[in-house]
Amino acid sequence: MHKEEIYRVHFPYREDMVIEGFRFGKGDPTACILGAIRGNEIQQMYICSQLIRELKELEMNGCINAGKSILVVPVVNSIGINTGRRFFGVEDVDINRDFPGRNDGDTTGRIAYEIFDRVKEYTYGIQLTSFYMTGEFVPHVRMMETGYQNTSLANLFGLPYVVVRKPSPLDTKTLNYNWQDEMTAAFSLYTNRNDTIDDESALQALSAVLRFLTRMGIIRYESHSGFISHIIMEDDLTDVYVGKGGIFRGLVKPGEYVRYGYPIAEIRDPYEGFIKEAIIAPTSGIVFFAHTEALITQGEMAYRLIHRLHQ
């Protein structure tokens, strides 16, 4: 293992923010795994730390194949992690909305530029990331529909679902999109937690990354076969919104099957405690995403459901 400095951000009134990478093997830049770009992505940082531990052992045992190089960057926004802020700096800028960056831009632009300059040559790019809304997912792989996506490769992670998303103009500034624009096979991995650690889903994500690296001939590692992934388009998911704000009491969790017309959540009045609104399943299917905060605002998304066509 070789530890290297990816980029250093100088601050006048506190210690520098150093972005470090851990390199395994020697040869062509083959696979890059990137962790916490946002300051609340503790689960993603934890998964990367476990991956580094496993790769160290594999390298010592000669199990990284010749001519292959793996780079793991566990944390980008360490300042955000130390201060408990999701985004970077006093401006609260999302670094993952600033790629490919500019070397003469503002601080987040320079961070994105330096990171992307180091990772854009890799054949495979894996980002452990989080959703823009607070909640829990069924673990899955997500890809942008850029014309370069390869769902057959995404199946090799062995996670339950592969989601293909049509990019919006905002998505063109993400790492995943720009990786694909440089002909890197890019994948985003989502687990069911962000700012807390869930060992079960962390282990599932770790196994998925090691399974993919094994199946692509980068490492030698024995793992079970995982799931036969179901490919879904994000536009085909059914979004469930609430009509009223208040205390959110969810009745179902990600991965659970729900039936059309059955209650899946309640919105309670925060002062008097009565049920302001009962959220009813608009279709039968699997809960893909669930809101987890104690409060919810009017018009906010509570669930995303995978519609089941056949019962």
154 and 303 part of one domain: no
Average pLDDT over residues 7-22: 91
Mean pLDDT along residues 230-250: 96
CATH code of the domain covering residue 108? 3.40.630.10
Q: What is the mean pLDDT of residues 188-209?
A: 93
- CATH number, position 266: 2.40.50.100
CA–CA distance, 64 with 268 (Å, rounded to integer): 54
Question: What is the residue range of 132's domain?
Answer: 2-233
Q: What is the pLDDT of residues 275-287, one digit of tens each?
A: 999 999 999 999 9
| Same domain for 253 and 222 | no
Can you tell me the mean pLDDT for 244-256?
Answer: 96
Judge if 13 and 64 occupy the same domain.
yes
Do 155 and 249 reside in the same domain of the chain?
no
For residues 253 and 138, give the distance between their C-alpha atoms in angstroms, rounded to a whole number: 9
In 3D space, the residue among 123, 116, 94 whose CA is nearest the CA of residue 36 turns out to be: 94
157 plus 31 within the same structural domain: yes
CB count, 10 Å around CB of 26?
Answer: 12
Q: End of a domain among 167, 199, 233?
A: 233
Q: Domain check: are 196 and 288 in the same one? A: no
Looking at the fold, whether 7 and 128 belong to one and the same domain comes out as yes
- What are the pLDDT digits (tens) for 59-95? 999 999 999 999 999 999 999 999 889 999 878 999 9
Residue 266, strand partner residues: 249, 278
Last residue of a domain, one of 204, 233, 262: 233
Q: For residues 55-59, give the mean pLDDT.
A: 97
Q: Are residues 180 and 212 in the same domain?
A: yes
Q: Are residues 245 and 227 in the same domain?
A: no
- Interstrand relation of 230-233 and 161-165 (parallel, antiparallel or unpaired): parallel
Please list, in sequence order, all residues whose beta carbon lies within 8 angstroms of the beta carbon of residue 310, skipping any fewer than 6 positions away.
Answer: none
Residues 127 and 189 both lie in one domain: yes
Q: Is 170 exposed, middle or buried (0-12, 13-18, 19+ CB in 10 A)?
A: exposed
pTM of the model: 0.93
pLDDT score at 205: 96
Q: Which phi and psi (to 5°) does residue 297 adopt? A: -100, 160
Asked whether 36 and 81 are in contact (CB, 8 A), the reply is yes
Q: Is 15 left (phi over 0), alpha (psi -120 to 50) or beta?
A: beta
Q: Going by DSSP bridges, is the β-strand pair 285-291/263-268 parallel, antiparallel, or unpaired?
A: unpaired
Q: What's the mean pLDDT in 122-127?
A: 98
Q: Which H/E stretch holds residue 45?
A: helix 42-60
- Tens of pLDDT, residue by residue over 283-304, are 999 999 999 999 999 999 999 9
Asked if 158 and 120 sit in the same domain, the reply is yes
At residue 311, the pLDDT reads 46
Comparison of pLDDT for 12 and 205, the residue scoring more: 205
Total number of domains in the chain: 2
The mean pLDDT value for 209-231 works out to 92
Of 134 and 183, the structure prediction assigns the larger pLDDT to: 183
- Give residue-wise pLDDT tens across range 36-47: 999 999 999 999
Mean pLDDT of 121-127: 98
What does the pLDDT read at residue 216? 96
126-172 pLDDT tens trace: 999 998 888 899 999 999 998 888 999 999 999 999 999 999 999 99
Residues 227 and 242 in one domain: no
Question: In the predicted model, is pLDDT for residue 13 greater than 90?
Answer: no
Task: Return the pLDDT at 94.
Answer: 95
Last residue of a domain, one of 184, 210, 233: 233
Note the pLDDT tens digit of each residue in 87-99.
998 789 999 999 9
Among the listed residues 107, 84, 90, 113, the one whose alpha carbon sits nearest the alpha carbon of residue 17 = 107
